[in-house]
Amino acid sequence: MKQKATAKQPAAKAAPADAALFEARLARHYDELKWLYCELYHGDIAAFDYFVSMLRRSWADRKEDLRAQDIRREADPDWYRRRDLLGMMLYTSQFAGTLKGVEARIPYLKECGVNYLHLMPLLESPKGRSDGGYAVSDFRKVQPELGTMADLEYLADACRADGMSLCLDFVMNHTSEDHEWAKKARAGVPGYRERYFFYDSWDIPREFEKTVPQVFPTTAPGSFTWLVDCRQAVMTSFYPYQWDLNYANPVVFNDMTENLLYLANRGIDIIRLDAVPYIWKELGTDCRNLPQVHTLVRMMRMVCEIVCPSVLLLGEVVMEPAKVAPYFGTPDKPECHMLYNVTTMATTWHTLATGDVSLLRHQMDAVCALPRDFLFLNYLRCHDDIGWGLDYPWLKEHFGTDEVAHKKFLNDWFTGHFPGSDSRGERYNDDPRLGDARLCGTTASLCGVEAADYELDPFKLERSVACDLMLHAWMLTQSGIPVLYSGDEVGQLNDYSYHLDDEKREDSRYLHRGAFQWDLAALRHDPETRQGKQFIGLRRLEAVRDAEPAFDAWADVRTVDTGSPHVLGVVRQYKGRKLVALFNFSDQFLTASCWEPGAFRELVYGGRFDDLERVELYPYGFVWLLQTEA
């Protein structure tokens, strides 16, 4: 069961005090950990004892610098809730070529204000069958063209020295078919087919598929793949080359947890649990969000608190707030430290297309009703597509909205096919029968910057850049950690070159995964260029947010009526400070009202308001208004 580690440095032996600290942490969680483990794995004490011995090995492999960080962060458990945290997600190859290249670009990242760096999947995966790196063939090797595991550890050390936390994806639902376990399973080596879901016929797979929704019905239909060479069916929820792991087998949980800890011991601060709702399968269910998933995540949280308390778990849960919230766990039995604010992101783009803020306000009311210790990562764009998982029952009740027709409208708008739209995106996984296509494109291109740039229309350009900055201001106004997608800080546009690449042309997500344009980024300090306007404008917003306590994660947040269906109003209050933020989601000059008493000053562009009865907003304009007197 044990896999050989290849750490950059030999593990330092734990001093007696360190060993005592580990034992104290283990003792704090031991009873609950044993109870959950044995309940899930039917009292398999031998497997549990092995699990505990693996935790001790992983602790012994943790270098002194990381142990010191563990102690510092244990003493400051809210370190990741600071309002000066700013994230950026990027592809190593597209941003700087290699991990050493990323290390050399740390000064640029610091200039952007970034202190939370999320590297897109970079572990070894087979060329042409990787799903963007999400089909891992070795959890302990880096993709060779990007560097080595030692390079990753050196980068983590450099980031830590500069006060920057490093995040990495942990693909836990499946492995590549090229993984050592999968190869042995295919060859019939005893003990390995049990790590996956193998069946001799289609009888059981057909029963699963009666209740399990398809993830990619057009590009990878079904949830099983027939292996001709061994005459077996294997579960493949995502793509045929990604084999689902069977977490009902304790060997899988033990070894995957050790892989997670191996990455933590290389200096990774945040582990993104990819597709975590899928990891437990049970016949007769939809194999999503089953209770056993929460048992597994709770155990992983305890494992981190025992071995590497400075490491955070970020859950990728692509659902509405009501279904997302359980992945935080409870105050006494926490699970993930952070989750993605996926629905707010999708609703934001819906609001831009419709110009109506009603759904976004409804969405924010739901988020604001959650406990304040629930921490979300907020973003406008990421490596993935935009799925239109909106609250359609609410839209139907209040506007009579038809879901299929509305999704078509949104995709037509953001691909520039709807009259009046300057957005430039592309559909992803288009299924005309269901009208359920998703959307790809960079923030700037979706805001109209690409069209304005192409048409050499200065009026359109000013308006689209204003739209881009307004959306970023809205993201920064939300509680949680704001995360930029690499290139958005300088308004990078769509990259259509993927259409010429045989390995990428079928996946339109590569539209917004283009190489970082360093020549255009060199213009970021020139306010006469659009790159300069976007970079300088965004940095100003980030600086204001860093300095103003009203943006604190513990603030009370509520929405307010603005007298306009096109203007979103948000109030943040913290320790006697009140901030009113107004966002115009239309391309027209508007007047908004807000019945918050007192005088206010505008934090970004300056100006004073004796009251908020009439606030003039430019097209796609916004204001951050701080109360100066009650």
- Quote the pLDDT of residue 286: 96
Give the pLDDT confidence of 456-472 residue by residue, as tens digits: 999 999 999 999 999 99
Q: pLDDT tens for residues 31-47?
A: 999 999 999 999 999 99
Beta strands in 349-406 (DSSP E): 375-379
Residue that terminates a domain, selected from 340, 374, 396: 340
Q: Could you give the number of structural domains in the chain?
A: 4
Q: Is residue 323 domain-shared with residue 350, that is, in the same domain?
A: no
Residue 11 identity = A
Same domain, 350 and 472: yes
List of residues 6+ apart from 523 with CB closer than 8 A: 490, 529, 531, 532
- The reply to whether 157 and 25 lie within a common domain is yes
Selection from 113, 99, 236, 200 nearest residue 158 by Cα: 99
Strands 242-244 and 174-176: antiparallel
Domain containing residue 35: 1-173+250-340
Alpha helices (H) in 484-630, listed in sequence order: 518-521, 530-547
Extract the runs of DSSP E, i.e. beta strands, from 64-212: 87-90, 116-119, 123-124, 138-142, 165-171, 174-176, 198-199
Percent of the chain whose pLDDT exceeds 90? 89
pLDDT digits over 237-279, tens only?
Answer: 999 999 999 999 999 999 999 999 999 999 999 999 999 999 9
* 316 a catalytic residue: yes
Question: Which among 70, 124, 316, 426 is annotated as catalytic?
Answer: 316
Q: What percent of the chain has pLDDT over 70?
A: 96
Count of H-run helices and E-run strands, the chain: 21, 25
Kindly indicate the confidence band of residue 435, based on its pLDDT and cuts at 50, 70 and 90: low
Distance of CA 459 to the CA centre of its chain: 34
Which of 506, 525, 553 finishes a domain?
A: 553
Beta strands at 198-199 and 232-235: parallel, antiparallel or unpaired: antiparallel
From the candidates 258, 274, 450, 542, give the one annotated as an active-site residue: 274
**233 and 218 in one domain?**
yes
Question: Which pLDDT belongs to residue 7?
Answer: 37
pLDDT at 9: 43
Structure tokens at 358: 């009603």
Q: Same structural domain for residues 509 and 608?
A: no
Are 52 and 83 in the same domain?
yes
Q: What pTM was computed for the model?
A: 0.94
| Same structural domain, 479 and 353 | yes
Q: From CA 319, how far away is CA 383, in angstroms rounded?
A: 17
Measured at the alpha carbon of residue 339, what is the angle toward residues 301 and 51, in degrees to the nearest 5?
20
Q: Residue 614 is part of a domain; what is its CATH number?
A: 2.60.40.1180
Q: Are residues 375 and 444 in the same domain?
A: yes
Sequence-ordered list of residues with C-beta below 8 angstroms from that of 67, at least 6 positions apart, any chain: 18
User: Does one domain contain both 335 and 310?
Assistant: yes
For residue 111, the one-letter residue type is E
With CA atoms as reference, report the closest residue to 288 among 252, 327, 253.
327
Q: CA separation (Å) from 146 to 61, 149, 596?
A: 24, 10, 53
Please give the order of strands across the beta sheet that includes 622-629: 556-560, 567-574, 577-584, 622-629, 599-602, 608-609
Q: Is 430 a catalytic residue?
A: no
Structure-token match 């926490």, residue found = 334
* CB within 8 Å of 40: residues ≥ 6 apart: 292, 295, 296
Q: Are residues 369 and 305 in the same domain?
A: no
Last-in-domain residue among 340, 362, 379: 340
Is residue 306 located within the same domain as residue 422? Answer: no
Residues linked to residue 578 through DSSP beta bridges, in sequence order: 573
Q: What tokens were used for 282? A: 């049970």
Residue 31 belongs to domain with CATH number: 3.20.20.80
Task: Indicate whether 259 and 238 sit together in one domain.
Answer: no
